[in-house]
Amino acid sequence: MRLTTAQPDDGLVHDDAELSAPPAWTRGVTRVAVLTGAGISTDSGIPDFRGPNGLWTRDPAAERLSTYGEYLRDAAVRRRAWQARLSHPAWSARPNAAHLALAELAGSVATWIITQNIDGLHQRAGAPAERVLELHGTIFGAVCVSCGDRTDMAGALERVRAGEDDPPCGLCGGILKSATIMFGQPLDPAGLARATRAAADCDLMLAIGSTLIVEPAASLCAVAADAGARLVIVNRDPTPYDALATEVIREPIGTVIPRIAAQLAG
């Protein structure tokens, strides 16, 4: 496994460190915070958004489906969003090696998994649900934007299959959406506060498969680094937080994360 190391003093990424022994940043770690983005789920068949084969790269107009103002204003956007939900790969996706490794790590080291993903794969891998913070919500729920009533997404999708192309709330007739955070919506303050505490209290933060450009989730890296934690970024492409990192790793997530998890648990 090859690692690339970001040197904070010069801002460069050096691709010359062959890992023959556990790196120093894995030693003495008792509290881990993990921030995961779309890149951790691509091996499970869920495409990312901005990568070479990303959802929005292939279809830029699809980003409108995740924009709150557009969703509320345009019934056509809602109808397309419901069709996209019907075929979302999360329904059939299975946890991959990285999800499973993090779940196993959580069984031996105090670990918080803070995820930007909505696919539920960390919980399905066996990570304790109370230790998974879904900053951007979950696709498995539906919520009314008017009265706040929450129901299972499965029931809403059955209504779509039965012919309702834009099913309204069953209680008040308001607009239904997935229980996810769209662009233009604030994060849940309580959830963000818990994630911030986890980042501030950890010895090590792993940022995995995230472009680290969506805030405020990305700024949790700075919270951890400012509190004295080691920050390790595992991502294919450069991120705005690489200069803060103890190490930047460009290798495939499904290969690297099981090894890191084993080193931390060992």
**pLDDT above 90 coverage of the chain, percent:** 83
Give yes or no: residues 162 and 218 share one domain.
Answer: no
- 17-59 pLDDT tens trace: 444 578 999 999 999 999 999 999 999 999 876 555 655 556 6
**CATH number of residue 176's parent domain:** 3.30.1600.10
Q: In what order do the strands lie in the sheet with 137-144?
A: 150-152, 137-144, 176-180
pLDDT band of residue 113 (cuts 50, 70, 90) is very high
- 118-146 pLDDT tens trace: 999 999 999 999 999 999 999 999 999 99
Supply 77's token pair: 């956007």
What does each C-alpha distance from 54 to 45, 57, 212 come to in angstroms? 12, 5, 16
136 assigned to active site: yes
Give yes or no: residues 161 and 262 share one domain.
Answer: no
Domain boundary among 180, 211, 236: 180
Give yes or no: residues 128 and 233 share one domain.
Answer: yes
Give yes or no: residues 35 and 78 share one domain.
Answer: no
- The yes-or-no verdict on residue 4 having pLDDT over 50 is no
Give yes or no: residues 3 and 65 share one domain.
Answer: no
Q: Per DSSP, which regions of the chain are E strands? A: 2-7, 12-18, 31-36, 110-115, 132-134, 137-144, 150-152, 176-180, 204-208, 230-234, 247-249
Give yes or no: residues 132 and 192 share one domain.
Answer: yes
Q: How far apart are CA 70 and CA 88, in angstroms?
A: 20
Give yes or no: residues 12 and 113 share one domain.
Answer: yes
Written as one letter, the residue type at 137 is: G
| pTM reported for the whole predicted model | 0.88
Q: Write out the residue range of the structural domain in which residue 154 sits.
A: 49-92+138-180
Give yes or no: residues 157 and 258 share one domain.
Answer: no
Give yes or no: residues 150 and 240 share one domain.
Answer: no
Residues 165-189: what's their mean pLDDT? 96
Give yes or no: residues 146 and 242 share one domain.
Answer: no
